[in-house]
Structure 1
Amino acid sequence: MIFHGLGCIFQQFHGMGPAFLNFRPMRYPSAPVRALTLTGICILIHIYARNPERVESGYSTQFYPLFGSFLRQITGFVPFSIGDIFYGMLIGWLLYALMKKLFRLFRKKEKETSEARWYWIWLSRLAIVYIVFNLFWGVNYNRTGAAGQLGITVRDYTVEELKDLNCVLLDSMNHNRAAMAVSGNRKKSKKEMFEHVSVTYQALQKKYPFLGYQNPSIKSSFWGWFGNYAGFTGYYNPFTGEAQVNTTVPDFLQPFIACHEVAHQLGYARENEANFVGFLAARASPDPSFRYSAYLDLFTYANRSLYALDSIAAELVRRDMSRDVKDDIAEWVRFSRKHRNPIEPLIRWAYGKYLEGNQQPKGIFSYDEVTAYLVAYRKKFGSL
């Protein structure tokens, strides 16, 4: 029956003669139509993301947890950073495309029609990046987030509340630094540290089920050396689902950095939330080096906030830091000064503008806003 049917079809084609051979292939939409269509999709995504409750109940708690876990499952088994390679190739290609465009303009070989088409093509490319970025992760910037899940009210705090928070963080920081010395403070390998991050989130999941972490994908960044000069200690790659950690920074910083980036993996896009969730995870760790890393980082934010309001009080709190803590901070300062350069402020400014464009009006200082989360959490649950 199958061969008979095919024979009939061939006979029909034969009868059609040359007319059949003159068919035209389906044409793709023109560059302007394609660009405008993609721009329309971008607008629809933006409209959807304007409602935080809708994002929280739909994208952030229904779609993204499954998709993010799937993405990590694909990249997690690869021992190196796929995202770093992707970004390296992307930057190389962008530089090539820019140089090619400038060369053609300089040689005046660019026709007016082809130049207009070039702009339409690039509008399409930017729209595709926007669409993929938001579908893969970026819509999470608009969720109600951890505060709603924990039932805490994040608001402005008083100077007295901030002083009290500084003292609490200081005591925990000193205590865990001393515990590290007692336990021998054996340095973990990168693999051991990344595996322990999963342990901390598993411990946290027992208390907060919505913070469960499956299919780990935590990588040491190839670009750590560049990050030291650019001012970043880690980043989350939304296109590959990988948490990238700069493992060239001082060891005592790395556990909290890793916990922070995993918080991004779980859909907590805003930096203050990632700091807060990362703190909850590191605090749940049985390892004092993880707890110390978190308390040290959060103390620096809280103390900086206090210094802006009452510099004398902030200085008095710092005097009570243990000798080991002071030595660690001195090492941190030396490391930062060693890599200081005129490009870093420009990169920090650009990143601050990116944050401002993604629901974080304080820009680079959004990290410091974790202090308000700590005050609110302590007010409800009584301890840190």
Structure 2
Amino acid sequence: MRRKGLKIRVGWITLVVLVVIIKVISANSEWVERYFTYGLYPVITTVLRFLLGWIPFSIGDILYILVIIGAVYKVIRLIKLIRRKQFSKQYAYRFIGKAVFLILLVYVIFYGSWGLNYSRQGIASQLQLSEQEYSTSDLDTLVGLLSNRLNGQAQLLKPAMRDSFKSKQNLFFNASLLYKIAGTKYPFLSYKGYSVKPSLFSYLGNYMGFQGYYNPFTGEAQVNTTVPASVAPFVASHEIAHQLGYAKESEANFVGFLACRLHPSVHFKYSVYFDMYHYAVRELAFADSLKAKSYDSTLHPRAKKDIADYIEFYKKYRNPIEPYIDRMYSYFLKANNQPKGRRSYNEVVTWLIAYYKKYGKEVI
């Protein structure tokens, strides 16, 4: 019994020390960038991708399913104990202690394997970009550039091009290939050993409002493969950006943009401009709704149809639970250096404006 008690105390002390270390490191973005993002993290993610990337289904999703089953079992057992009046104070203390220990363990694994990237210097440091407030005029310029690019790609896009990416494996392989291409221009985007997979929760994801997610426990990028074809390539590239250590949603969006625009496929280029236009015109609508509508009216018929299909797709899945899930996710983002919550995705507009202001409009 003494040996067991000693192990428990050592376990608690170790976890608490690791939590403190993570908090101290996360307070210094330079340390995170140097010692974690380009130190420990590449080793962790590369090993995970090579170990699990070859498996055709998501190990991470199966892990989540097992956790959910375990949690449901524990809750049912707890309810039975309460009904039988067997829920003593001693049991309650043990239950709370185990729950806190588990939360600390998940915290350490999550931030120690990936989450510290929320505190890195990121793309601003790598491209010498300044994250500044932008004017309505800056936004207008960006939307004009994106609408021109989107219309240009829409003109080139043929149905056969989209059909060639109906194969999930072809889509995922090309998404990983685009980072190999991007890595020749931006060395910090080099990518080895891809691990991109269809989510086992794809249909459920439509009701919950997600298009993809990264599993930091297994290093897998999951894509909701039921989303419209107009956004699927960009979703895959966004999730790979998370694999590369860009944890913040605005940065993952921007990195996805940098990579997708270099891909030889018209479908991939169209997808990135479709998404970026959506983010930018939405921001413009807050400042000048008439101007935003005028841009929408000048879009290529292909883009107009895709926007209508996209809206119709998500209308089918609206439900009373989604806003609560949305709110919880916003709290999670705010707790991880993204104060705008869900609107953090839209902050890619800040990076796009800073990028064209520094390197010229042709980079858009």
Q: Normalising by structure 1, what TM-score?
A: 0.91
Structure-2 separation of matches of 1:66 and 1:37: 22
Q: Which residue of 1 aligns with 2:106?
A: 129
Of 290, 293, 299, the residue aligned with 1:321 is 299
Of 333, 337, 345, the residue aligned with 1:367 is 345
Cα offsets for 1:249-293 (capped at 9, x unmatched) = 111210000000000000000000000001111111000100110
> Kindly tell me: are residues 245 and 182 of structure 1, through their superposed partners in 2, closer, same or farther at Cα, counting changes over 3 Å?
closer
Structure-1 separation of matches of 2:298 and 2:9: 64
Structure-2 separation of matches of 1:183 and 1:166: 28
Of 46, 50, 64, the residue aligned with 2:23 is 46
Structure-1 separation of matches of 2:268 and 2:206: 22
What do you get for the CA RMSD once the two structures are aligned?
A: 1.6
Question: 5+ residue gaps in structure 1?
Answer: 1-23
1:380 aligns with 2:329: no
Structure-1 separation of matches of 2:331 and 2:7: 33
1:160 aligns with 2:137: yes
1:71 aligns with 2:72: no
Cα offsets for 1:71-119 (capped at 9, x unmatched) = 1111101011111111111111111112212221232202222221211
Of 235, 249, 263, the residue aligned with 1:271 is 249
Work out whether residues 69 and 214 of structure 1, in 8 Å CA contact, stay in contact via their aligned partners in 2.
Answer: yes
With 237-246 and 150-159 compared, the bigger mean Cα shift is at: 150-159
Following TM superposition, by how much is the alpha carbon of 1:185 offset from its aligned partner in structure 2, in angstroms? 4.1
Q: Which residue of 1 aligns with 2:68?
A: 91
Structure-2 separation of matches of 1:105 and 1:300: 51
Identity %: 40
Following TM superposition, by how much is the alpha carbon of 1:179 offset from its aligned partner in structure 2, in angstroms? 1.0
Which stretches of structure 1, 4 residues or more, deviate above 6 A after TM superposition? Answer: none
> Kindly tell me: are residues 294 and 78 of structure 1, through their superposed partners in 2, closer, same or farther at Cα, counting changes over 3 Å?
same
1:178 aligns with 2:155: yes
Of 182, 186, 194, the residue aligned with 1:208 is 186
Structure-2 separation of matches of 1:258 and 1:28: 47
Following TM superposition, by how much is the alpha carbon of 1:36 offset from its aligned partner in structure 2, in angstroms? 5.4
1:196 aligns with 2:141: no
Q: Which residue of 1 aligns with 2:221?
A: 243
Structure-2 separation of matches of 1:159 and 1:112: 60
Work out whether residues 30 and 121 of structure 2, in 8 Å CA contact, stay in contact via their aligned partners in 1.
Answer: yes
Following TM superposition, by how much is the alpha carbon of 1:63 offset from its aligned partner in structure 2, in angstroms? 1.4
Work out whether residues 199 and 224 of structure 2, in 8 Å CA contact, stay in contact via their aligned partners in 1.
Answer: yes
Work out whether residues 142 and 359 of structure 1, in 8 Å CA contact, stay in contact via their aligned partners in 2.
Answer: yes
Work out whether residues 161 and 266 of structure 2, in 8 Å CA contact, stay in contact via their aligned partners in 1.
Answer: no
Work out whether residues 52 and 144 of structure 1, in 8 Å CA contact, stay in contact via their aligned partners in 2.
Answer: yes
Work out whether residues 176 and 288 of structure 1, in 8 Å CA contact, stay in contact via their aligned partners in 2.
Answer: yes
Q: Which residue of 2 aligns with 1:350?
A: 328
Following TM superposition, by how much is the alpha carbon of 1:200 offset from its aligned partner in structure 2, in angstroms? 0.7
Structure-1 separation of matches of 2:6 and 2:81: 26
1:331 aligns with 2:309: yes
Q: Which residue of 2 aligns with 1:218?
A: 196
Question: 5+ residue gaps in structure 2?
Answer: none
Cα offsets for 1:3-28 (capped at 9, x unmatched) = xxxxxxxxxxxxxxxxxxxxx88334
Work out whether residues 72 and 215 of structure 1, in 8 Å CA contact, stay in contact via their aligned partners in 2.
Answer: yes
> Kindly tell me: are residues 100 and 268 of structure 1, through their superposed partners in 2, closer, same or farther at Cα, counting changes over 3 Å?
same
With 98-107 and 361-370 compared, the bigger mean Cα shift is at: 98-107
Give the counterpart letter for 2:281 in structure 1: N
> Kindly tell me: are residues 130 and 91 of structure 1, through their superposed partners in 2, closer, same or farther at Cα, counting changes over 3 Å?
same
Q: Which residue of 1 aligns with 2:122?
A: 145
> Kindly tell me: are residues 132 and 190 of structure 1, through their superposed partners in 2, closer, same or farther at Cα, counting changes over 3 Å?
same
Give the counterpart letter for 1:151 in structure 2: Q
Work out whether residues 76 and 217 of structure 1, in 8 Å CA contact, stay in contact via their aligned partners in 2.
Answer: yes
Following TM superposition, by how much is the alpha carbon of 1:369 offset from its aligned partner in structure 2, in angstroms? 0.3
